[in-house]
Amino acid sequence: MCRNSVAAVLCDTAASAFRVGGRSVCRWRIYVYGTKSLVSSKRREIRREKAMASRDESSVPRKQSSDVADEISTFNAENMQNNAKIIYYSRTFMSIIGGVIAGILGFTGLTGFIVYFLVMAITSVGIAAKAGFSVLPYFNSWNQILIDGFLGGLLSFVLFWTFAYDFVHIF
């Protein structure tokens, strides 16, 4: 299964039960979203994968934990990394855009920093909305999308804020 072409629910469970020493043992073969991993184990369980249908694959957070009933959580490290990267890119991009907006509108001093925090909050809300407000399958915790990397875009924001402000108001 090609990594870049997943778009639909893929849950193909093939069960074959046979008897071993009096107990029946089921073997399940399950395709995990994003990567093909053969999980054959001696347990009876249905894993239901909710895959995210997406047009633009690279900008969409991908499922990281593949268990619906979450006493045991298995993390797909590559998906986790991808999600973290997406958060970082979104924050950087929004802080640049926010800087340009603050400069054009002529905010100075504290008002500008309030604009920065507002923009970061909008980014967090946007990411949460994209993840369907059920954050746990995609990220480690709520903290990761709300608080993590909050101040990372500050320098870019200030740079573009200064740039736009000088352009428009002192030009």
Partner 1 sequence: MAEDLVLDTAIRDWVLIPLSVVMVLIGILRYFVSKLMRSSNQVPDPKMIKEGQVVIRARNLRAAANFIPAKSFRSRRVYFSNEENGLLYVPKGQAQNAQAQMFSDPNMAMDMMKKNLSMIIPQTLTFAWVNFFFSGFVAAKIPFPLTQRFRSMLQNGIDLSTVDVSYVSSRSWYFLNLFGLRGLFSLILGEENATDDTQRMMQMSGFGFDPTRSLGAEKDSLDIVQHEWALPKFEQRAEAVLKKLVS
Q: What is the 3-state secondary structure (H, E, C) of 5-16?
A: HCCCCCCCCEEE
Tell whether the torsion through CA atoms of 129, 134, 139 and 143 is positive or negative.
Answer: positive
The number of beta carbons lying within 10 Å of the beta carbon of residue 161 is 25
Smallest distance, partner 1 to C-beta of residue 164, A: 9
| Alpha carbon distance 108, 166 (integer Å) | 11
Among positions 111-130, residues that touch partner 1 (CB under 8 A) are: 112-113
> Among residue numbers 31 through 50, which ones bind partner 1 (CB under 8 A)?
41-48
Query: Cβ 64 to partner 1, closest distance in Å?
Result: 13
- 144 lies in the binding site for partner 1 (CB under 8 A): no
Cross-strand pairs, 17: 26
Of 136 and 155, which CB lies nearer to partner 1 in the complex structure? 155
* Whether the Cβ atoms of residue 87 and residue 79 lie closer than 8 Å to each other: no
How big is the site for partner 1, counted in residues (CB under 8 A)?
44
State the helix-helix crossing angle for 110-130 and 154-169, rounded to 10 degrees: 130
Task: Please tell me whether residue 133 adopts helix, strand or coil conformation.
Answer: coil
Residue 150 is a binding residue for partner 1 (CB under 8 A): no
Quote the CA–CA distance of 78 and 57 in Å, as a whole number. 14
161 binds partner 1 (CB under 8 A): yes
**Which residues inside 48-107 make contact with partner 1, applying CB under 8 A?**
48, 68-69, 71-72, 74-75, 85, 88-89, 92-93, 95-96, 102-103, 107
Positions that interact with partner 1 (CB under 8 A): 41-48, 68-69, 71-72, 74-75, 85, 88-89, 92-93, 95-96, 102-103, 107-110, 112-113, 152-153, 155-156, 158-163, 165-167, 170-171
